[in-house]
Amino acid sequence: MLRFQYMSFFWLLFVPFVLGGIYLIYLSYRKRQIKKFGDIQRVECLMPGHSLWRKGIRFTLVMMAMVAIGVGLANLQAGKRSEKVRRKGIDVMIALDVSKSMLAKDVSPNRLEKARLLIYRLLEKLGNDRVGLVLFAGRAYVSVPLTVDFSALKMNLSTANSDLVPTQGTVLGEAIDMSRQCFNAKETKYKSIVLISDGEDHDEGVGDAVKQAVSEGIMIHTVGIGSPEGSPIWDDEMHQNKVDAEGKDVISKLNEEILSDIASKAQGIYQRLQNAEQVANILGKQISSTEQKNFGESIFTDYDSYFQYFLGFSLLILLIEPMIPEKKLLR
């Protein structure tokens, strides 16, 4: 199995193409300028030692060296052996509220950013589990299905915002249903949902969604974000707090009652988010204490790196390039 360890360095591969295009434009411009003085071949005869071919060779070598450097920095690797690693864990779906009310700043810097930090901390505690992500506001959708590749989950999490779900609201019931559908329906255990929300403006289908989840052996933990006193909702587009029809600030309050009720009915725990590390530790311990199943994942655990060959090749080219004279040797 081949892979590149640092894909971010691939942007360097665009540089030779850009410079090559600029070089071709330069050659075209130069040709037009020479034509002003007469026939190109006759004009070049008046330029002793001139060799456009040699300049092209040197330019091509430099571009080849840049490509080799880009590939070398990306570090091409090949798997030496595939090992079947037995992992014990459970399936965890994280349902994150991204409604506009999550932009309230009664927690710093705001509710959504605080929730994002909590999930990052929680993933550190769930190294042996499969984890997925559901985003919801007025609708819910699966952002990342169950996976052991936390890098993909973190990437989607980093871009999660209230604009991804245009329909506003807090459909807790639909978020639970969407998360439930990501699990293996044939299993009656090894499944947990972590629901993170302020619980405000929730839908009426929460009760039925919780009952269905419990009947399928799913445990639901809930995390409340915000304060019971509430806070204005910041509007990024208007650069001011969101106001109602009367021009008064819309105040968003944490609804702990509904979140606590969901957790108690689904054999889970409720936590109010204040310290992300503390809450992540509590959730991590609670999840790891439940009965776990064996995951069989085929993973390449040992890789050989080949960056040195590409960097060595580029160095060799850069040593050869100055040795090629730009002009013909005159006799």
pLDDT digits (tens, 9 = 90+) for 208-259: 999 999 999 999 999 999 999 988 887 766 667 777 677 777 788 999 999 9
Q: Which of 153-162, 191-200, 208-217 comes out lowest in average pLDDT?
A: 153-162
pLDDT of residue 299: 59
Please give the C-alpha separations between residue 203 and each of 162, 172, 174, in angstroms, as whole numbers.
18, 6, 8
Can you give the pLDDT at residue 42? 62
CA atoms in the 13 A half-sphere facing the CB of 315: 7
> Is residue 298 over pLDDT 60?
no
- Model pLDDT for residues 17-42, shown as the tens digit of each residue: 888 888 888 878 877 776 666 665 66
Question: Which amino acid would we find at residue 290?
Answer: T
Mean pLDDT (whole number) for 69-88: 78
d(CA 168, CA 109): 21
Taking residue 57's Cβ as centre, other Cβ atoms within 10 Å add up to 14
Q: Is 299 helix (H, G, I), strand (E, B) or coil?
A: strand
Length of the chain: 331
pLDDT score at 47: 57
Mean pLDDT, the chain, whole residue set? 85
Is residue 101 scored above 60 in pLDDT? yes
pLDDT for 307 beyond 60: yes
Residues of the chain with pLDDT > 70, as a percent, come to: 85
For the chain, domain boundaries: 2-75+306-323, 85-295
- The b-or-e profile of 267-294 (16+ CB within 10 A means b, else e) is ebbbbbbeebeebbebbbebbbeeebee
pLDDT band (50, 70, 90) for residue 329: low
> Does the structure show a pLDDT above 70 at 95?
yes
> What pLDDT score was predicted for residue 273?
96
Q: Distances from the Cα of 311 to the Cαs of 3, 71, 75, 305, 316, in angstroms?
A: 17, 8, 10, 12, 9
Q: pLDDT value at position 133?
A: 97
The lowest-confidence range among 60-69, 112-121, 166-175, 307-316 is 166-175
Burial call 237-255: b when 16+ CB within 10 Å, e when fewer: eeeebbeeeeeeebbbbbb
What is the model's pLDDT at position 218?
Answer: 96
Residue 115, pLDDT score: 97
105's CB contacts (< 8 A; 6+ apart) are 111, 231, 232, 234
DSSP string, 145-171: EEES-HHHHHHHHHT--GGG--S-SB-
* Gap between the Cα atoms of 131 and 120, Å rounded: 12
Q: Which of 153-157, 198-202, 246-250: highest mean pLDDT?
A: 153-157
CATH for 85-295? 3.40.50.410
Half-sphere exposure of 262 (CA within 13 A, CB side): 35
Q: Which of 243, 98, 238 is nearest to 169 (CA)?
A: 98
pLDDT confidence of residue 17: 85
Which whole number is the average pLDDT over 268-288?
A: 96
Please, how many CA atoms are within 13 Å of residue 323, restricted to the half-sphere of its CB?
A: 5
Interacting residues of 101 by C-beta distance below 8 A, sequence separation 6+: 111, 170, 198, 200, 201, 226, 233, 252
**pLDDT at site 300:** 53
> Among 90-99, 128-137, 301-310, which is the least confidently predicted range?
301-310
| Structure tokens that stand for 249 in this block | 């600030």
Q: Where are the beta strands (DSSP E) in the chain?
A: 2-4, 76-89, 91-97, 130-136, 140-147, 191-197, 218-224, 231-232, 234-235, 240-241, 251-252, 270-272, 293-305
Helix (H) or strand (E) holding 66, with range, is helix 52-74
pLDDT at 319: 92
Q: Residues 77-95: what's their mean pLDDT?
A: 80
Query: Which of 51-65, 207-221, 266-280 has the least mean pLDDT?
Result: 51-65
Lowest mean pLDDT among 26-30, 186-190, 293-297: 293-297
